Amino acid sequence: MAYVIRPRDPRTQPEGVVPGYSQTAQRWPAQPPARRVHGAAELSGPRGLTRRLAPVRGDLAGTGDKRAIGQLIHVRARIVDEDGAPVAGALVEVWHCNAAGKYIHPNDDNDAPVDPNFYGAARMVAGEDGLVELRTIKPAAYPVPGTGGWWRPPHVHFSVWGRVWLSRLVTQMFFPGEPLNEHDAILNAVRDPQARQRCIARLVPQENLLAYDYELVVRGAAAAPGMP
């Protein structure tokens, strides 16, 4: 089946150079990017990424005396394309900081404690329904050094693959009701309020845990019949 990737809508995607986020002005290209016709390279795979990237963990919260500190949350993320069709077998990478705002990463020099029972990275494979379920703890807010008071709101990083090379999606999931959301330079680099809202997970009330639903729409749609 022919698959098409339409140009990005700049209103629903972030600006390249973002006020208040100084590294963007060092790194985002100054020259306008070239448009090109998509061929086999852009509209093919990779399929079966687990041949190179093995799935690791789907539970970052742990249990018993290995339980990570923090509020237990379940995140149910669904990967669909622009037709709303689930991307069965999509590979999904997730990472986030601990309940004190600390990442397990050599570059994180935030003065916050490490939790020996928390390792914040998971790689999962979506089922036939495009769903992955992550059991973890809620990440905290943390300060961005050298920015005069920019605190990142709690967020979870997502890296997913869709059906073709140009469907790659790396983004961040935010939590509803967080006061820092409206001040975050990264989230607010998306101009369209509805597109911003879709970056925020939906709270689904449940008895014993905080559950969130989140939908990731990767680029690409089936070509309309009769279209080239």
Partner 1 sequence: MKRLVPTAELTLGPFFPPEFAEGANDLTHLDGRQVPGELIEVTGRVVQLDGKPLDNVVLEIWQADAEGRYDNPDFFGWGRAATDAHGVYSFRTIKPGGRAPSINFLLLYSGLMRQLHTVMFFDRVELKEVKHAERLVAKKEGANRYRFDIRLRGEGETPFFED
Question: Minimum distance between the CB of residue 150 and partner 1, rounded to whole angstroms?
Answer: 13
Catalytic residue among 78, 96, 123, 155: 155
Handedness of CA 116, 118, 120, 125 (dihedral sign): positive
58 within 8 A of 133, measured Cβ to Cβ = yes
Residue found under tokens 């669909």: 80
Q: Which is nearer to partner 1, 28 or 129 (CB)?
A: 28
Residue list 49-68, contact with partner 1 (CB under 8 A):
49, 51-53, 56
Provide the residue type at 107 as one letter.
N
Q: Are strands 72-80 and 210-217 parallel, antiparallel or unpaired?
A: parallel
| Residue 21 falls in the annotated catalytic set | no
- Nearest CB to partner 1, comparing residues 64 and 228: 228
φ/ψ of 189, rounded to 5, equals: -75, -10
Contacts with partner 1 in 203-222 (CB under 8 A)? 215-219, 221
**Does the annotation count 38 as an active-site position?**
no
Is the Cα dihedral 202, 136, 81, 31 positive or negative?
Answer: positive
Known catalytic residue at 11: no
Candidates 103, 118, 175, 212: give the one binding partner 1 (CB under 8 A). Answer: 103
Which segment (27-35, 61-69, 124-132, 175-183) binds partner 1 by CB under 8 A? 27-35
Among 25, 204, 209, 223, binds partner 1 (CB under 8 A): 25
CA dist 138 and 99 (Å) reads 6
- What are the residue numbers of the active site? 103, 142, 152, 155, 157
